[in-house]
Amino acid sequence: MENLPVQIGWVEILQKTLQFISRYGLKVLLLGLVAAFGRGMQEGAWGAISSIGFWGLEFVVEGVRLGLVILVIGNGSLKIGFRRVVAIFRAKKSDWKLIWTQFKKNVSANKIAILVNFALFLMIAALFNFSIHVGIEEGLLKYLKNNHIIDAMASKWPVVLWLKNVSIIPFTLIFETILILLLTAPSKP
Give the pLDDT confidence of 155-166 residue by residue, as tens digits. Answer: 999 999 999 999
Provide the total of helices (H) and of strands (E) in the chain, helices listed first. Answer: 9, 0
Amino acid occupying residue 37 = F
Closest-CA residue to 113 (of 18, 186, 184, 8): 8
Give the pLDDT confidence of 64-122 residue by residue, as tens digits. Answer: 999 999 999 999 999 999 999 999 999 999 999 999 999 999 999 999 999 999 999 99
Residue 86, Cβ neighbours under 10 Å: how many? 9
Closest-CA residue to 46 (of 56, 36, 55): 36
Q: Look up the pTM and report it.
A: 0.92
